[in-house]
Structure 1
Amino acid sequence: MTPNALAVGLARALAVSSLIAVPAVHAQQAGGPAADATELDAVQVTGQAVYRDRSDATAPTLSYGVEYFQKFEPRTVGDMLKRVPSVAFVSDVLEYDGARLRGLGAGYTQILINGKKVPGGGNDRSFFVDRIPAEVVERVEIVRSASANRSGDAVAGAINIVLRDAYEFDGGYVRLGASRFDDGEVTPTVAAVASGAVGEGRVLAGVSHQGRYNPKRKTSLRYAAPGGEFDNREDQSDIRDGDDTSFNLSYVRDVGDVGRLSLSGLYVRTDRTETEHSREYNVPVGTARDNLLSVNDQLEDIRQDNFAFKGDYVFDMAGGETAFGVSFARFDEDTVGTEVEVGYDDGETPPAWDGYEGERRLVALRDDESGASVSHRRPVGAAELEFGIDALRKERRFEQRTSEVEADAEGQPLPPYAEFDATVTDIREDRLDPYLMLSGSAGRLDWETGLRMETTDIRIDADGAGFEQDENQLLPSAHLRWNITGQDRLSLSLARTVRRQSFDHLTPVLLEGEYGDNDFIGNPMLEQETAVGLDLGFEHRLGKRGVVGVNLFYRDVGDLIELVSTGEPSESAVEDHEDDVADFVDGNPGAGPTTPGYPVFDPDSFVYTAANVGDGEVFGVELDLSTPLDALGLPDTGVFLNYSWLDSRVDDAIGERRFNDQARSVFNIGFIQDLPTLGMSFGVSYRDQGNAYARLLAEEVTTAYGEDLEAFVENRFGRSWSVRLTGTNLLDASKDEVFHKFDTLGDQIERDYDEYELESEVAGPVYQMVVRYAF
């Protein structure tokens, strides 16, 4: 961070604090908790900082209650996860969507809601965590290593989003607020949660509505090659504008003296428009009409629905405990995207009109996951035995319709989008996963070992052609925790996991020009990646509330999925050869293949596919600290820090590299200061993510993010009211990317550039005022 940038950021943070830094009534604790529930969100009107919880699970797990994040008023689960160890993002500025544990691709990270898998829109099976409002969350768990009673597709680990539960809380609150962005736009946020006894059970209900807005500015400078001749510049405004509305409901009741029924549901509706306006010039600076090359406008209207339901019935049976569970989750998206561009030829001054074209893309995606499970656990001597079976069916339907039009002459409007090329893909995946797990304690040792068998049957129907694949994986796991003292413990975990194939890698549909001049077609016979993982951690309790921990991890990934050439020429290569032949015949009437000089078909671009090739390694060190400064006589000052050093190795067609887009590091540090006599608190949080590099076919990208500084100040009034002002992105964080672009693999190896691009995206600070009333 530069001194000037830090000074500006701290000045903004102090400005946030000064706006409401006035004396207030000292906060008092709310009334006593209900007999079987904790008062809901009492922490919202107290100033005491809350720290990372020390999990009792034998498998290495970090648990963060919502109060750990709440002071900085996160809008979504993505905003929450950016503060925890090893979670990186490769998203646009102020966007935290695809969480990447250990910096690996989002498809390597398992996202769970209440312990159950949820579908998402990503081809890599990833779920965008920014679709879940922070208001519905009770806690977030980072599960570093797999256990037999959870799905094994968690190479990097799992993130379990635990929603508020009627059994755990009593009371409620109302939240009202607004956010102001640097372009003057103001968006609202409204939420309410209430819980209490209803008949023989307990009910929790919540509703949330928040405006989502993100104005960004982007500049791209393009050259023939690094250090080469300047080609063009593109200036772009990009505005994401939308609303998220969510409803969540939980019902819990005891059934007799031996059972408990739990039902929970979550629904999130996202309405969003993405508007981009770009102008391309043939000079590095300036916006004169004489230098204009193109005007491009893109508009996407997006509607997404996320729905998740879970039901569990747990009861005593045969000397143990039996559980039945059902779940259903749906991701539904409809997108209408339109792009129009007017091009100009700078061979004349001013540049002459060179075309007007448009494209409309209609996308409909529905991804359903329905599951059922049964399990039983019982004591076996000094240990506990658990066994069960999980059944899961995924049904995914993807439809894309594309229409392209163009105007015949300058001044004419585009014709209507009437003729659409359609692609329809249906995928059904059935899983039946039995497991067996044994756990127990022996003196200072806690242990767990298990075995899971995952059986997968995939059926693909792509544009009428059917394909089928069956695959079985045996996934052992073992965890050992040595409680050295009451404050110190050492943990060791070993587990085998899988990464399931991306849908686009499985679907055998030809995509022309997907990688430069190269085409791509999916491989329905592609197998899952597998990994053997090792985690070694040490944790020390600091006083009554603090925790410091360090963890070393290693993953040996086999059957790695990479792009390989099929040997077949691309459509571009075939068309170029056909054009060469036509030109030769025009100049040599009657010529044939034996005619001297007749063009020889020697393609330099090909059709690529995905295949299981080679191995890879992922490794790193994770440090986290969360504690009050009691030892320094500052019990009202809390600090948190985490740092992750991340690395990996994999070989591709060019040589050795890291896993694509793996950040080199993730660093968070911050503090919260309570002022009990004034009924106030304030704090600052700073985040820095290391550079990421990706080498794909015909393209290489280095991504760097600027530092992120956030601050809050809170004023509390009596037992129930609080006002909190937060400032985010106080350093005007940027995302800077360097693109090396090529036409073919051969050009990439020889460094024969098609284009070299420097792109920078920036957004300004966001200020949010929130008022809460707890009851």
Structure 2
Amino acid sequence: KEYFEKFAPVTLLDMLQRIPGVQEILNKNREQRRQARSGGGGAEAQGGRGFGSGGDQILINGKRLAGKNNNINDTLNRVSANQVEKIELIRGAAAGLDVQSQGLVINITMAEGMSTSTTFWKLTGRYFIEQSKIPPSLLVSHSGSSGDLQYVLSGEVKNTRRYASRDEEHFNALGVQTGEKFIDNATITQSVALNSNISYSFEDGSDLRLNGLFDTGRNDRLEEQEELGSQPLHTLWDTDNDVKKWEIGGDYTRKLGGFGQLKALFVVNNEDNAMGIIRDKNILTDVEYQYGQETTNLDKSEKIFRVSLTNNLTSKQSIEAGGEAAFNTFDKAFVDNRRSSVIDPLSLRSSDNVAIKENRYEIFANHTYNFSPSLVLQSSVTTEFSKIVADSITTNTQRDTSFTYLKPRMNLRYDFTSSDQLRLTVEKKVSQLNFNNFVTSFDQRTDQLVFGNTEIRPEQVWDFSAVFEHRFPNDAGSVEAEIFYRDYTDHITKVDFTEYENLAGNNISADEFFALPTADLDILRDTTAFTSKSGNIDGATAKGIKLKTNLRLGFVGLPQAVVSLGYVYEKRRELDQFTLDQIGFNRMSDHTFTYSYRHDITAWDFSYGIEGSFRSKFGNRERNYTWPWKFGPGYKIFAEKTIAGGYKLIAEVWRMDMGTGRSTLTYYDDHRRFNDVIERSEKLHKSPAYIRVILQGTF
């Protein structure tokens, strides 16, 4: 704790930001939460439903936070710095952790046996350079302790904006320009959240922690499109999205003498999401009318219970064994009504309604063997049992499927010296299914329906990695290199679900269909319903390297400045199910580069720095289009100053969403294998940078 005093931290997050490598963990946690909110994730993701043994690499008193929506990243900004006793950096495999290490685990030990009371507040305003509004956000958090009781109570009002625009040039199959399109998009997000974290240490050594969250808000978007050229059109898409969610979680730890230590966790949560979209044509004219109306209603809930027992077998060996049960519901309904003229009534174009119940159970055992102070082997095996019942109300069909997976993991840590460490990991992972793939939806980016598939299976992957880390003396930083290889089974991607037939009406394969004479194909194309959905394939792989370094610049006279650099080369390849070519994964780049620089001038109570990232081009493909992208760089420039009264003023310039760049969307008639281009759109994506100003303090 004394190490951080020179930085005058206000919150726990202020302390962690001074530790090289922690920002990468925070960013990774944020990405896992994003995947979890979307309904699942790939087999490498640690987000999604249930707890599992992976997840947050930041622990408080050796335990993860028993929450999903109420997560560790948000908690760090609500805990007062004066409640922290120490921060431990744990590299590689180690016994007694609440999660399996993915390299570096941060364990925060809270101060005990003292009475404190602190109220933290933070006022935030965003100013977009091309706009004039500065919507404010406010966070107030009261934390305290009295003897063995610790608590954090907070309320937050978020009020944010996001603006994006797009300029398009449209060309026909001959390359002749047919028109232009200009799109302006404004998103308003407003929410009110109440959080609580309470912990109590009993006299017998047991600990109880309880967490609560209530969050309600809206996420509304207005998109105006003006098309010029041979078919001029002026449209407006108005989206209203209301979200309400709550969560209660907790954990209990108790020592049972010779039986070891008991750990139990639970989480119960629910989310309601209602979205309506109104689409108008010919706006600002006498013939303006509503041509489309969509509604999407989602109600999902989760109940998780996890219990384990940890015991020392010998002075060098420990074992943890237990089980987890997760019960999920996911009910989603989609309705799309359209009309082609103002005199026609709105009529149903497409609808889907799916009710899903998933019961997942895990039995696990984790064994840690400390062969010597320099050699640790951690092995685990998890057996997962799941049952998914998906009722399609629209088609009056039901999917009732059970899965059983064995997921072994081995992690070896060897310290050549106190500065050099080797980590070897072999692990089988199984994805969480994204239930959004079960339900038909409308893709506004491509202006077409995306059909659901209730028969999709979880994605499996064998993950092999080797990491070497060298730490420089005197806390001067580290350098790390990793090589990895992943082999996928049931990889989830876009799959051709077309039912192909020849002129005789016999079912044939796609290869046989496209090998038919041209005259036959000309006839069959008019009667064939070309269809694609998310599905499973085999044969996908990924391999690559990760390089990163954190350097304290004392060797150039800046001992309080830290620079971090990271590079990832990940070659992900799968078989394009429509053209049979080897391609990269959808929306995944081969190259990613990240950087950050932070300089704390403690004599002035001032800090400044920059962080950012950029990645190579990537693509998105479907049955009837290709869409390669090249994003511009994202960055954040910041400066922090502690002013009179102990208040901290922070100014930031953001363009971290990488919403700028270029892309080319090419539509094909029926199927890309015909290679009949309908239209090509050259798109210039623009997202203005914004300035964020924060004033925070305590009393």
Q: Which TM class, normalised by the smaller chain length?
A: 0.7 to 0.9
Match status 1:203 vs 2:151 = yes
Q: 1:706/1:535 Cα in 2 relative to 1: closer, same or farther (>3 Å)?
A: same
For residue 457 of structure 1, what is the aligned residue in structure 2?
387
Provide, for residues 387-436 of structure 1, a one-character-per-residue CA deviation record: whole Å limited to 9, x for no partner.
Answer: 00100011011122333346546xxxx97x69897532100000111011
CA distance in 2, matches of 1:517, 1:43: 43
Q: Is the 8 A contact 2:36 2:48 kept in 1?
A: no
Secondary structure, counterpart of 1:186 in structure 2: coil
Q: Is the 8 A contact 2:158 2:192 kept in 1?
A: yes
CA distance in 1, matches of 2:428, 2:656: 42
Q: Is the 8 A contact 1:398 1:424 kept in 2?
A: yes
Q: 1:197/1:334 Cα in 2 relative to 1: closer, same or farther (>3 Å)?
A: same
Secondary structure, counterpart of 1:185 in structure 2: coil
1:316: how far off?
A: 0.8
Match of 2:479 among 548, 553, 556: 548
For residue 653 of structure 2, what is the aligned residue in structure 1?
727
Provide, for residues 205-231 of structure 1, a one-character-per-residue CA deviation record: whole Å limited to 9, x for no partner.
Answer: 222222210111111112123x61112
For residue 313 of structure 2, what is the aligned residue in structure 1?
380
Match of 2:357 among 419, 428, 438: 428
CA distance in 1, matches of 2:155, 2:524: 67
Q: Is the 8 A contact 2:471 2:479 kept in 1?
A: yes
Match of 2:243 among 277, 281, 304: 304
Q: 1:541/1:647 Cα in 2 relative to 1: closer, same or farther (>3 Å)?
A: same
For residue 221 of structure 2, what is the aligned residue in structure 1?
274
Match status 1:558 vs 2:489 = yes
1:695: how far off?
A: 2.4
1:128-143 equivalences in 2 (<5 Å):
136=77
For residue 336 of structure 1, what is the aligned residue in structure 2?
276
For residue 11 of structure 2, what is the aligned residue in structure 1?
41
What amino acid is aligned across from residue 45 of structure 2 in structure 1?
T
Match of 2:139 among 181, 191, 194: 191
Q: 1:408/1:698 Cα in 2 relative to 1: closer, same or farther (>3 Å)?
A: closer
1:7-156 equivalences in 2 (<5 Å):
41=11, 44=14, 50-52=18-20, 64=22, 68=23, 81=27, 108-111=44-47, 136=77
Match status 1:217 vs 2:147 = no
1:134: how far off?
A: 7.9
1:170: how far off?
A: 6.9
1:518: how far off?
A: 9.8
CA distance in 1, matches of 2:525, 2:634: 53
Q: Is the 8 A contact 1:111 1:160 kept in 2?
A: no
CA distance in 1, matches of 2:454, 2:171: 35
Secondary structure, counterpart of 1:662 in structure 2: coil
Match of 2:401 among 447, 469, 485: 469
Match status 1:708 vs 2:609 = no
TM-score, normalised with respect to structure 2: 0.80
1:184: how far off?
A: 1.4
For residue 613 of structure 1, what is the aligned residue in structure 2?
537
CA distance in 2, matches of 1:523, 1:372: 26
What amino acid is aligned across from residue 212 of structure 1 in structure 2?
T
1:749: how far off?
A: 2.3
Q: Report 1 or 2 for greater relative contact order, CA contacts < 8 Å, sequence distance ≥ 6.
A: 1
CA distance in 1, matches of 2:95, 2:178: 54
CA distance in 1, matches of 2:88, 2:233: 46
1:455: how far off?
A: 0.5
What amino acid is aligned across from residue 161 of structure 2 in structure 1?
Y
TM-score, normalised with respect to structure 1: 0.73
For residue 338 of structure 2, what is the aligned residue in structure 1?
404
**More moved, 264-273 vs 547-556:** 264-273
Q: 1:115/1:250 Cα in 2 relative to 1: closer, same or farther (>3 Å)?
A: farther
Match status 1:241 vs 2:211 = no
CA distance in 1, matches of 2:17, 2:561: 8
Secondary structure, counterpart of 1:630 in structure 2: helix
For residue 583 of structure 1, what is the aligned residue in structure 2?
none
1:114: how far off?
A: 11
1:372-771 equivalences in 2 (<5 Å):
372-381=305-314, 382-405=316-339, 407-408=341-342, 423-443=352-372, 444-463=374-393, 464-506=396-438, 520=451, 522-524=453-455, 526-545=456-475, 546-568=477-499, 603-653=527-577, 654=579, 655-717=581-643, 720-729=646-655, 734-745=660-671, 748-771=672-695
Q: 1:217/1:143 Cα in 2 relative to 1: closer, same or farther (>3 Å)?
A: farther
CA distance in 1, matches of 2:143, 2:432: 39
CA distance in 2, matches of 1:144, 1:237: 48
Q: Is the 8 A contact 1:145 1:493 kept in 2?
A: no
**More moved, 242-251 vs 453-462:** 242-251
Q: 1:535/1:336 Cα in 2 relative to 1: closer, same or farther (>3 Å)?
A: same
Q: Is the 8 A contact 1:627 1:639 kept in 2?
A: yes
Match status 1:253 vs 2:221 = no
Structure 1: any 5+ residue segments left out of the alignment?
Answer: 1-26, 32-38, 54-63, 70-76, 90-95, 120-126, 283-290, 345-351, 575-597
1:522: how far off?
A: 2.0
CA distance in 1, matches of 2:661, 2:695: 32
Q: Is the 8 A contact 1:491 1:537 kept in 2?
A: yes
Match of 1:369 among 299, 302, 305: 302
Q: How many residues get paired?
A: 645
Secondary structure, counterpart of 1:684 in structure 2: strand
Q: Is the 8 A contact 1:175 1:773 kept in 2?
A: yes
Secondary structure, counterpart of 2:603 in structure 1: helix
CA distance in 2, matches of 1:359, 1:681: 51
What amino acid is aligned across from residue 219 of structure 2 in structure 1?
R
Q: 1:396/1:145 Cα in 2 relative to 1: closer, same or farther (>3 Å)?
A: farther
Secondary structure, counterpart of 2:46 in structure 1: strand
Structure 2: any 5+ residue segments left out of the alignment?
Answer: 56-67, 80-86, 506-521
Q: 1:331/1:117 Cα in 2 relative to 1: closer, same or farther (>3 Å)?
A: farther
What amino acid is aligned across from residue 242 of structure 1 in structure 2?
T
CA distance in 2, matches of 1:706, 1:648: 21
CA distance in 2, matches of 1:536, 1:404: 54
Secondary structure, counterpart of 2:254 in structure 1: strand
What amino acid is aligned across from residue 392 of structure 1 in structure 2?
A
Q: Is the 8 A contact 1:113 1:160 kept in 2?
A: no
What amino acid is aligned across from residue 243 of structure 1 in structure 2?
Q
Provide, for residues 546-583 of structure 1, a one-character-per-residue CA deviation record: whole Å limited to 9, x for no partner.
Answer: 2322222211001223444445379xxx9xxxxxxxxx
CA distance in 2, matches of 1:301, 1:166: 45
CA distance in 1, matches of 2:436, 2:629: 24
Q: 1:399/1:385 Cα in 2 relative to 1: closer, same or farther (>3 Å)?
A: same
Q: Identity of paired residues, percent? A: 16
Q: Is the 8 A contact 1:219 1:235 kept in 2?
A: yes
Secondary structure, counterpart of 1:754 in structure 2: strand
Provide, for residues 361-396 of structure 1, a one-character-per-residue CA deviation record: whole Å limited to 9, x for no partner.
Answer: 122101111011111010112200110010001101
